[in-house]
Structure 1
Amino acid sequence: MEKFICIHGHFYQPPRENPWLEEVEFQDSASPYHDWNERITAECYAPNTCARMLDGEGRIQKIVNNYSKISFNFGPTLLAWMKEKEPDVHDAIVAADQLSQQNFSGHGSALAQVYNHMILPLGNRRDKYTQVLWGIEDFQHRFGRKPEGMWLAETAADTETLEVLAEQGIKFTILSPYQASRAREIGARNWRDVDGARIDPTRAYLIKLPSRRSISVFFYDGPISQGVAFERLLTSGEKFATRLLGAFSDRANRDQLVNIATDGETYGHHHKHGEMALAYALQFIENNKFARLTNYAEFLETHPPTHEVQIHEKSAWSCSHGVGRWMADCGCNSGGRAGWNQGWRAPLREALDWLRDQITPLFEAKGAELLKNPWGARDAYVQVILDRHHANVDKFLTEQANHELNETEKVQVLKLMELQRHAMLMYTSCGWFFDEISGIETVQVIQYAAQVIQLAQEVFHEDLEPTFTGLLAKAKSNIPDHQDGACIYTKFVKPAMIEWNKVVAHYAVSSIFRPYSANPKIFMRSFEQEHREDFSVGKAKLAIGRTKVTHEVTHESAHLSYAVIYLGEHNLAGGVQPAQAQEDYELLKKELEEAFQRADFPEVIRRIDHHFHGSNYSLKSLFKDEQKKVLYQILSSTREDLENRYRLITERYAPLMHFLTDLRADLPLALQTAADFILQIDITRGFSAEDVDLEKLRKLCAEGKARDVNVFDEDLCYTIKNRLENMMRDFAANPENMSLLRTMEGLTDIVRTAPLDLNLWRVQNLYYEMLQLAVPKFRAAATQGDVISKDWMNLFLSLGDHLAFEVNPLEA
């Protein structure tokens, strides 16, 4: 009997992009990171590409890529974000799949996933097909091979879903043991009831489908998966490994597979350092030959199913009521407040289903005018999503059109495709998973629906919004102020909707505070400056211009004119409208310039209001990220004034504060606040300075540690982390820079003794790479007596010591 172990991680985050910007905007709750994708990447996705293996004293011995030894899937929408924002992590995940093929007999460990995490049993067959097809195409685009297995969102399955998987060549999927209904040996007559997770999860099973196709399934070990996710099993890698090994049965006279499946975020995000426990468990099992690591595809090839199984229709892994969590108030929730209910789930789904069904005949009719096969074009559109370069878009249009399209028709086709893309995105499962309809995940899916409504108005000239919001009104919020889905649509969705004027207003307002190139690209819109004039009087600024804007997704264009006046601080007014006739534009310029040069700013504002017919834009018109930057710039003088006042207080009462500290007496709150504020500013500046004063910084950090004050917060840690990462990148590019090495050695010596919770995985990764690449050269020169190389080695080894590396072997 041979023992096999397979650990599967389902790595996924819902798409968070603003549907009109195609960008993830700043999320306060993820601070100090920009957004939750970035934060979870830093805490989980990236660390698993470079998990630390420690010695008995907690020093780093080596760094390994966990993905190459486990089974995993990543959401396509998450990987699309990662490819743009964290390309190194994206590429390391792809590389791990290639390495896993060497580890597992040519079978890669990556599985595909249905495209945007739609609960397929609740979708129609057409959406099921496209979700699977897009998932496969995205996988092939990234990993360079066809997927053998596919992860179903929430493992939600029914017969039709499995038929679609099998039809498209998927060999297997992974399900919860609670989804199994009955099983039997292939060829046997009688079925055995395995309801209630009584299925044996140590083998593969076959599901025979009505179409005469079949698909294999693996049922993960429920108790161990539960232990990993919720019972702190990852506090010890050896404990984790022992629990896995304990699942083998000595009574079974056959090869066995112990396999578990959890959210991948368990390893590092939900459980800090979970990736290290995973890495240790894998090494512990392999080195001691307790079992053989494998992935599902390799095991399936050598151990084809000997038993068949039937599953509960419309069942999933995180709902004991089938798929009720995504359609009803079934009782499943995430532990929300007492008295809350999820009665909003059913009317939300009914509203979205109504919207989908309303646009279907409209799409088919309009699509038939332009396309050979509208639904076939939707399936093929994934190739455009993966590559939006104009040549690829033109190729798609040429292949799908039923005649040579003019420019207007091309825009219509692309809008039809985007309408269908958002009609699927609005079914992303997270919209129903949590407790309250006003939560960010549910607002996100309603925003996708609003984009569908907007596109339908533009393409079909049908206003679907009134009926849709009427249906949403039946979805009652648990929060009285939010009332219902219609109120939430008005409060949180409508303000996010973007039209041409709002995009140009953002461009015009932000251009007052930052220079743009002649033809900038902002949020999937390209701007072609047709005319612009800037004026200034003292601190006041005036900008007047005309621009052509082109949507990079739909290729639609518009010409607009704008005028913005800025009077300092937060005082700004502007107007935007479709470009007027040249003589009207010249009159606008003349009147605004004359009034501005006279410093008659109220008249400028009145003229803007007159020419732009009451169109009124301000700093509130900026999208979140730019607004945050501009406000930071505006508040610079305020911050400087506050700092001067707090510094004066701190310096004036310094003797008193020292005296009180010596007596171990509490400082008055006002003095404590002022002193902490100044200390944190000084420490932050010390770490950020171009020429770091190590001794001064060391004293400041020592003071903060001795006073045990709250200055070493997340924001400071984030600043230090970024500075060290940038320095390490520069050093890796130029290892001969002794000054930089000396500064890094000093900084890391300071941070290792300060009460800082730093995520230095990037810094440690670069150091680890230099151990292999740069050290041999300098060690050889040092051995032959080169003094500079010897100094370099001593500093580099000391840096490694501060970064928690086991460096003694290098000294030998």
Structure 2
Amino acid sequence: MSEKAVCIHGHYYQPAREDPLTGEVPVEAGAHPYRNWNERIHDQCYRPNAELGNFEKISFDLGPTLINWMISYDPATFARIVEQERRNYLRFGVGNGMAQPYHHTILPLAKRHDKITQIRWGIADFQHRFGHSPAGLWLPEAAVDRETLQILADQGIEFTILAPWQAEDAQIDVGLPYWVELDEGRRLTVFFYEAELSMRVSFDPAATSNGDRFMTDFIVPRLSANGHPTDEAKLYIIASDGELYGHHQPFRDKFLYYLTHRDFTHPRLIQFTYPGLWLRQYSPNRSVRIRENTSWSCHHGVARWKEACPCAPNGDWKMKLRQGLDWIADQVDKEFVKAVSPYAKEVWELLYAYIEVLHGKVSVRELIQRELKNDLEESEIRRIDLLLRAQLYKQRMFTSCGWFFEDFDRIEPRIVVTSAAQAVWWLREAGGIDLIQAAKERLSEVRSWRSNLRGDQVFMKHIERLRYEQLSFPFVQTDIERF
């Protein structure tokens, strides 16, 4: 009988919740008795799973914005996660961690240079944190198009994981990896997760209340066709929100430990493994086409993140928010290109390399001088520094959870609008155009159906804070050598 295997994949992500002015995550009342949602989820999920050693036994991706917070809040827990992933890498030559685009952007809705930025920053962050290159990359919300897959392949990524309905062929075998043929002779491996098992883990708490029963009633029957073992080697992936294990569903961190650590005695027992390791032995032998602009959490493509969608009722505000932020992004890009193009043929290479500044490897001055290869005046270095900051917050304002839920009056949409205000402010400080009034007018059409909170109110609240700080502390200058 050919080998059968199961992989549990956990997708772990939180947006950049830090206040742009203080660098601290503010108090979030809904997270009581914790100060904010990061702390609450950490205590219920990230820490206990790390202490149990679960990150060594599963496939996982951990968002860079979450990592940044975790390193400052509980570096010991993050060190445990890295250590567990490294054990696999040192043992097998390929780790069980996957990279993730830096700000969890819905990539099919992004411009090409923003897709490249998110992917390159995400890969660089994984390398910086885990000490080796990632074999795979998890796409935010599994949202995909061919251009995104092409960029993954161009950047050396071997595989990603998608939902089975994202394949054009409805008859795919989810136990097998597939090639997606791309341009310039490149191709990328795609695994399709097992929908029934993933649904049970994610949305049926009764199914995961007992590890033995889950193995006997759900996993083992999936290993055979019509009650008889199949002949082909199969890997069945159970994909889920990683925060399910202890946060969304209490005690499921213990379920995960039991399932992946216990030696089950069933005669058809299979192993637990992960995609990168599986590919070392079982390469794809067939190809598939993906359905463009699809995702794992919206059956209407990527509509959930740009317009009203049946997946999240009362979403009329989403189109206005998307249009407003797209307009701001266009203006930030125009000013950036105008400033950098006299010194570089490929203006976006400077932005791609900016991750080195975020990691503290170089100062922004060193980066600008290295990439632009010019003896720039101090004022020009300062201007480009501020435009790079505007680009950073432009990236932050497209984090996916800003559009995910049904109402605008939530923490997540307020975060993306605050990021937009910060991007507009840095653009203004750089001596570029002042977008405040025009952005305010566009965001005034974004309105909560529940509370009537408007986008321009959130936007101007942050702008007024910035104005107050500038008036109160006009002598404070940011040291670009230390940024």
Residue matched to 1:179: 166
Q: 2:437 aligned to 455, 466, 483, which one?
A: 466
Residue 426 (structure 1) aligned with residue 405 (structure 2)? no
d(CA) in 2 for partners of 1:122, 1:321: 14
- The AA in structure 1 aligned to 2:404 is F
Q: 1:244 aligned to 219, 227, 234, which one?
A: 219
Q: Classify 1:26/1:287 alpha carbon distance in 2 versus 1 (closer, same or farther; 3 Å).
A: farther
SS at match of 1:113: coil
Residue matched to 1:17: 18
Q: Classify 1:38/1:415 alpha carbon distance in 2 versus 1 (closer, same or farther; 3 Å).
A: same
d(CA) in 2 for partners of 1:359, 1:317: 31
Residue 43 (structure 1) aligned with residue 22 (structure 2)? no
- The AA in structure 2 aligned to 1:173 is T
d(CA) in 2 for partners of 1:466, 1:49: 47
**Stretch moving more, 245-254 or 416-425:** 245-254
- The AA in structure 1 aligned to 2:221 is G
Q: 2:336 aligned to 363, 372, 389, which one?
A: 363
SS at match of 1:206: strand
Q: Percent identity?
A: 37
Q: Classify 1:497/1:102 alpha carbon distance in 2 versus 1 (closer, same or farther; 3 Å).
A: same
Q: Classify 1:221/1:467 alpha carbon distance in 2 versus 1 (closer, same or farther; 3 Å).
A: same
Cα shift at 1:237: 1.8
Residue matched to 1:399: 370
d(CA) in 1 for partners of 2:436, 2:391: 17
Listed as ranges, the matches of 1:331-370 within 5 Å are 331-333=310-312, 341-369=314-342
d(CA) in 1 for partners of 2:67, 2:17: 12
Cα shift at 1:496: 4.6
Cα shift at 1:424: 1.0
Listed as ranges, the matches of 1:695-710 within 5 Å are none
Cα shift at 1:502: 6.6
Residue matched to 1:116: 103
Listed as ranges, the matches of 1:278-289 within 5 Å are 278-285=256-263
Under a length normalisation based on structure 1, what TM-score does the superposition of the two structures give?
0.56
Q: 2:279 aligned to 296, 300, 304, which one?
A: 300
Residue 72 (structure 1) aligned with residue 46 (structure 2)? no
Q: Classify 1:552/1:24 alpha carbon distance in 2 versus 1 (closer, same or farther; 3 Å).
A: farther
Q: 1:275 aligned to 253, 259, 262, which one?
A: 253
Deviations 1:11-65 (A, max 9, x none): 11111111233321222222222211111111101111122xxxxxxxxxxxxx0
d(CA) in 1 for partners of 2:9, 2:50: 15
Residue 375 (structure 1) aligned with residue 348 (structure 2)? yes
SS at match of 2:161: strand
Listed as ranges, the matches of 1:395-544 within 5 Å are 395-482=366-453, 484-490=454-460, 492-497=461-466, 500-501=469-470, 504=473
Residue 163 (structure 1) aligned with residue 150 (structure 2)? yes
Q: Classify 1:554/1:118 alpha carbon distance in 2 versus 1 (closer, same or farther; 3 Å).
A: farther
Residue matched to 1:264: 242
Deviations 1:714-773 (A, max 9, x none): xxxxxxxxxxxxxxxxxxxxxxxxxxxxxxxxxxxxxxxxxxxxxxxxxxxxxxxxxxxx
d(CA) in 2 for partners of 1:503, 1:277: 53
Verify the 8 A CA contact 2:363 2:480 in the aligned structure 1: no
Cα shift at 1:179: 0.8
- The AA in structure 1 aligned to 2:84 is A
Verify the 8 A CA contact 2:383 2:431 in the aligned structure 1: no
Residue matched to 1:586: none
SS at match of 1:551: coil
- The AA in structure 2 aligned to 1:485 is G
Q: Classify 1:496/1:231 alpha carbon distance in 2 versus 1 (closer, same or farther; 3 Å).
A: farther
Deviations 1:140-194 (A, max 9, x none): 0011111100000000001111011011110000001111112xxxxxxxxxxx1
- The AA in structure 2 aligned to 1:383 is E
Between the two proteins, the alignment pairs up a number of residues equal to 476
- The AA in structure 2 aligned to 1:258 is Y
d(CA) in 1 for partners of 2:276, 2:482: 42
Verify the 8 A CA contact 1:49 1:89 in the aligned structure 2: yes
Listed as ranges, the matches of 1:206-245 within 5 Å are 206-232=179-205, 233-242=207-216, 243-245=218-220
Deviations 1:396-440 (A, max 9, x none): 233123422444333222211111111111100000001111211
Query: If each structure's strand is expressed as a fraction of its own residues, which one has the higher value?
Result: 1
Deviations 1:569-624 (A, max 9, x none): xxxxxxxxxxxxxxxxxxxxxxxxxxxxxxxxxxxxxxxxxxxxxxxxxxxxxxxx
d(CA) in 1 for partners of 2:211, 2:90: 25
Cα shift at 1:503: 6.8
Residue matched to 1:140: 127
Verify the 8 A CA contact 2:364 2:481 in the aligned structure 1: no
d(CA) in 2 for partners of 1:393, 1:455: 15
SS at match of 1:18: coil
RMSD: 2.1
Residue 82 (structure 1) aligned with residue 70 (structure 2)? yes
Deviations 1:352-391 (A, max 9, x none): 1111112222211112356674311100000100117xx6
SS at match of 1:32: coil
- The AA in structure 1 aligned to 2:79 is D
Residue matched to 1:800: none
Residue matched to 1:99: 87
Verify the 8 A CA contact 1:446 1:493 in the aligned structure 2: no
Q: Classify 1:299/1:134 alpha carbon distance in 2 versus 1 (closer, same or farther; 3 Å).
A: same
Q: Classify 1:278/1:503 alpha carbon distance in 2 versus 1 (closer, same or farther; 3 Å).
A: farther
Residue matched to 2:301: 322
d(CA) in 2 for partners of 1:81, 1:207: 35
- The AA in structure 2 aligned to 1:449 is A
Cα shift at 1:307: 1.7
Verify the 8 A CA contact 1:148 1:297 in the aligned structure 2: yes
Verify the 8 A CA contact 1:415 1:554 in the aligned structure 2: no
d(CA) in 1 for partners of 2:246, 2:253: 5
Q: Classify 1:495/1:436 alpha carbon distance in 2 versus 1 (closer, same or farther; 3 Å).
A: farther
d(CA) in 2 for partners of 1:423, 1:346: 18
Larger RCO of the pair (alpha carbons < 8 Å, separation 6+):
2
Cα shift at 1:266: 0.7
**Stretch moving more, 277-286 or 221-230:** 277-286
- The AA in structure 1 aligned to 2:192 is F
Deviations 1:676-717 (A, max 9, x none): xxxxxxxxxxxxxxxxxxxxxxxxxxxxxxxxxxxxxxxxxx
Residue 199 (structure 1) aligned with residue 172 (structure 2)? yes
Structure with bigger gyration radius: 1
**Stretch moving more, 350-359 or 146-155:** 350-359
- The AA in structure 1 aligned to 2:325 is L
Cα shift at 1:548: 5.3
Verify the 8 A CA contact 1:373 1:400 in the aligned structure 2: no
**Stretch moving more, 206-215 or 258-267:** 206-215
Verify the 8 A CA contact 1:351 1:468 in the aligned structure 2: yes
d(CA) in 2 for partners of 1:211, 1:384: 32
Verify the 8 A CA contact 1:155 1:316 in the aligned structure 2: yes
Unaligned runs of 5+ in 1: 52-64, 183-193, 334-339, 505-546, 557-812
SS at match of 1:246: helix
d(CA) in 1 for partners of 2:470, 2:25: 21
Verify the 8 A CA contact 1:344 1:477 in the aligned structure 2: yes
Under a length normalisation based on structure 2, what TM-score does the superposition of the two structures give?
0.93
d(CA) in 1 for partners of 2:480, 2:86: 32
- The AA in structure 1 aligned to 2:288 is V
Verify the 8 A CA contact 2:150 2:182 in the aligned structure 1: yes
- The AA in structure 2 aligned to 1:116 is H
Residue matched to 2:116: 129
- The AA in structure 1 aligned to 2:72 is E
Residue matched to 1:584: none
Verify the 8 A CA contact 2:418 2:458 in the aligned structure 1: no
Verify the 8 A CA contact 1:241 1:284 in the aligned structure 2: no
Unaligned runs of 5+ in 2: none
